[in-house]
A and B are shown apart, each in its own frame.
Chain A
Amino acid sequence: MIYNSLKLIIVLLIFDWLATGCASVPKHDYSLYRSHMPRSILVLPPLNNSTDVNAPYIFLSTITRPLANRGYYVFPVGIIDDYMKDNGLPSAYEMHNVPLNKLCEVFAADAVLYVAIEDWGQKYIILSSSTVVNFHAKLVDLKSGELLWSGQQHAIESSGGQGLIGMAISATVEQIADTLTDRTYALSRRANHAMVFDKRNGLLPGYYELRRQTEMQSP
Chain B
Amino acid sequence: MRTLTTIVLLIATLAGCTASKPLYYWGEYENLLYSGFVNPGEADPTTQVIKLTQDIQIAQDNGQRVPPGVHAHLGYMLYTQGNISAAIQSLQTEKALYPEASIFVDRMIDQLTK
Q: Is A114 an interface residue (CB 8 A)?
A: no
Select from chain B the residue with minimum beta-carbon distance to A80. B104
Q: How many residues of A contact B (CB 8 A)?
A: 48
Task: Enumerate chain A interface residues (CB-CB to B < 8 A).
Answer: 4-5, 7, 9-11, 13, 39-40, 54, 57-58, 60-62, 64-65, 68-69, 71-79, 81-83, 106-110, 182, 185, 189-190, 193-194, 197, 199, 208-209, 212, 216
**Chain A nearest CB, measured from B93 CB (Å):** 13
Complex alpha-carbon distance, A79 and B72, angstroms: 8
Q: Which residues of B sit under 8 angstroms from A77, Cβ to Cβ?
A: 33, 69
Could you say which interface size class chain B belongs to? 35 or more
How many residue-residue contacts, CB under 8 A, span A and B?
116
Q: Is the beta-carbon distance between B24 and A68 smaller than 8 angstroms?
A: yes
Q: Is the beta-carbon distance between A74 and B37 smaller than 8 angstroms?
A: no
Q: Is the beta-carbon distance between A79 and B76 smaller than 8 angstroms?
A: yes
Q: Is B30 an interface residue (CB 8 A)?
A: yes
Task: Classify the secondary structure of B's interface with A.
Answer: helix
Residue of A5, A60, A109 touching B33 (CB-CB under 8 A): A60
Q: Which residues of B sit under 8 angstroms from A189, Cβ to Cβ?
A: 30
**Chain A nearest CB, measured from B59 CB (Å):** 13
Complex alpha-carbon distance, A62 and B37, angstroms: 12
Q: Is the beta-carbon distance between A190 and B38 smaller than 8 angstroms?
A: no
Complex alpha-carbon distance, A167 and B98, angstroms: 51
| Residues of chain B from 20 to 45 with CB closer than 8 A to chain A in the complex | 20, 22-24, 26, 29-31, 33-34, 36-38
Q: Is the beta-carbon distance between B69 and A75 smaller than 8 angstroms?
A: yes
Task: Enumerate chain B interface residues (CB-CB to A < 8 A).
Answer: 1-4, 6-7, 10, 14, 16-18, 20, 22-24, 26, 29-31, 33-34, 36-38, 67-70, 72-73, 76, 94, 98, 100-104, 107-108
Can you list 15 pairs linking A and B with CB atoms under 8 Å apart? A7-B3, A40-B101, A57-B34, A61-B30, A61-B33, A64-B69, A68-B68, A69-B23, A75-B69, A78-B73, A79-B73, A106-B104, A106-B107, A109-B100, A110-B100
